Amino acid sequence: MVRYLINRVLWTIPVLWLVATVTFFLMHTAPGGPWDARSGAAGRSLDPSLEASFNRQYGLDEPLIVQYFTYLKNAATLNFGDSFVQQGQSVIEVIGNGFPYSARIGVLALLMALGIGIPVGILAAVKHNTMTDYASLFVTTISYTLPDFVIAIFLLIVFSVHLDLVPILFTDWRSYILPAFALGTGSAAFIARLTRSSVLEAMRHDHVVTARAKGLSSRAVISRHVVRNGMIPVITIIGPAFAGLVTGTIIIERVFGIPGMGRLFIDSISTRDYPVIMGVTLFYSFFIILGNLMVDVAYVFADPRIRDSQG
Partner 1 sequence: MVVQLSGVERSDQAVAGLDRPVRGLWSDAWRRLRKNRAAVVGLAYIGFMLVLAIFAPLLAPYDPNNIPSDAFSNTPPFWMDGGSWQYPLGTDSLARDNLSRFLYGARVSMIVGIVPTVITVLIGATYGIVSGWLGGRWDNILMRLVDVVYAFPSLLLFIIMQASLRDTGFGRLLGGLMLLFVAFAITGWNGMARLVRGQTLSLRKKEFIEAARAVGNTPSRIMLRHVLPNSLAPIIVSVSFSIPAYILAEASLSFLGIGIRPPNASWGSMVFQAFPLITFMPIFVIMPSLLIALIMIAFAFVGDGLRDALDPQSDRQR
Distance (Å, whole) CA 32 – CA 39: 12
3 state SS of 63: coil
Q: Is 269 in the site for partner 1 (CB under 8 A)?
A: yes
Q: Least distance to partner 1 from the beta carbon of 15, Å?
A: 4
Please, which residues have CB within 8 angstroms of residue 195's CB and are 6 or more apart in sequence? 117, 118, 120, 121, 122, 125, 230, 231, 234
Toward partner 1, which CB reaches closer, 87 or 129? 129
82 phi and psi, to 5 degrees? -110, 155
Toward partner 1, which CB reaches closer, 177 or 216? 177
The window from 55-63, 98-106, 115-123, 197-205 that contacts partner 1 (CB under 8 A) reads 197-205
Distance (Å, whole) CA 304 – CA 301: 7
Which residue in 4, 69, 154, 301 binds partner 1 (CB under 8 A)? 154
Q: Is 145 in the site for partner 1 (CB under 8 A)?
A: yes
- State the helix-helix crossing angle for 274-302 and 232-247, rounded to 10 degrees: 170
Toward partner 1, which CB reaches closer, 83 or 249? 249
Distance (Å, whole) CA 172 – CA 78: 34
Q: Is 161 in the site for partner 1 (CB under 8 A)?
A: yes
Distance (Å, whole) CA 72 – CA 13: 12
Toward partner 1, which CB reaches closer, 197 or 229? 197
When computed from its CA atoms, the radius of gyration of the chain, rounded to whole angstroms, is 24
What is the amino acid identity at position 173?
W
Q: Is 203 in the site for partner 1 (CB under 8 A)?
A: no
Q: Least distance to partner 1 from the beta carbon of 57, Å?
A: 23
Which residue in 277, 279, 294, 298 binds partner 1 (CB under 8 A)? 277
**Looking only at residues 21 through 40 of this chain, which bind partner 1 when binding is defined by CB under 8 A?**
22-23, 26-27, 29-31
Distance (Å, whole) CA 79 – CA 36: 25
Binding site for partner 1 (CB under 8 A): 11-12, 14-15, 18-19, 22-23, 26-27, 29-31, 137, 141-142, 144-147, 149-150, 153-154, 156-157, 161-162, 168, 193-194, 197, 200-201, 247, 250-251, 254-255, 265-266, 269-270, 277, 281, 284-285, 288-289, 292
